Structures are given as structure tokens and as C-alpha cells.
Amino acid sequence: MRRRVATLLATAVSGIILAASPATAAPADKAEVLSSWTQTSATSYNTWLSARNNQSAWSAYAFDWSTDYCSSSPDNPLGFPFKMSCARHDFGYRNYKAAGTFSANKSRLDDALYADLKRVCAGYSGVSKTSCDSTAWTYYQAVKAFG
């Protein structure tokens, strides 16, 4: 009887240790982290960019960091650096699709892209800013319709 209890206890303990292995599942806060990195604020963008630059620190989350940047549109139209804004947009699209919650988040992801692009444009003035703003609006309308 003691031997059977000891065997059951040992089996249960080893099962708990195996279940607790960090390689078995993404951290429980993955959805919250994803959400925090895909908001419209500059803080959200900067936090995402910092994580992107240190992806290995986030490897347990199994995020999809792949990107084609601005897809078939220029990454730097008329010299405006939209590439990283498009990369964050791709990050949101790919990871929300993988989570099965894309349709509930698409509008915010598109709005975040537009906010990122407008922050790029804020660094310009005069005709250049007007041109940048117009290009940002065009990119935003395209992702809303076709993204």
C-alpha cells in the first residue's frame, strides 16, 4: 500500500513538473502584451519597437515578427519613412489572425497604422508635410478597404 501511494505521488509530482515546463505554452498574458503593442499611441509604438529590436527576450510568446512591410505599396513613398509603421501593422495583422481575433481588432490596427504614419508626417512642414499627410491618408484608406 505504501509503495502504491509513493508511486502515485511520484507520478503526480513528475506530471506537475512536466506541465509547468515553459516550452509547453505561451505566457498567459500574451493577449495583453499583443494588445499593448498595437494601440494608437506613440508609447505603444515605441514599446513594440523596443521588443522588435530584442525579439529573443519575447521568444516564449511565439509572436510572428515576419513582415513584408508595406506589401505592394512603397515602403518609403516620396522619401517618407513608412516602413516601420507598416511592419507594426503586419505584426498586428499576423498575430491577431493567429489568435483568431483579427476581425475584432482590424479597425484598431488600421487606426494604429494611420496614427504611426501621422507621427512620421509630423516631422515635416509645409508642402512636404501636406504631401506626407496625403500619402498617409491614402495608405490608411487602402488598408481599411483591402487590408
Which positions are catalytic? 89
Closest among 109, 106, 107, 97 to 40, alpha carbons compared: 109
d(CA 77, CA 136): 9
SS3 40: coil
- Determine whether 4 is exposed, middle or buried from the number of CB atoms within 10 Å of its CB (0-12, 13-18, 19+): exposed
The Cα–Cα gap between 90 and 30 comes to: 17
Buried b vs exposed e over 98-137: b needs ≥16 C-beta within 10 Å?
A: eeeeeeebbeebbbbbbbbbbebbeeeeeeeeebbbebbe
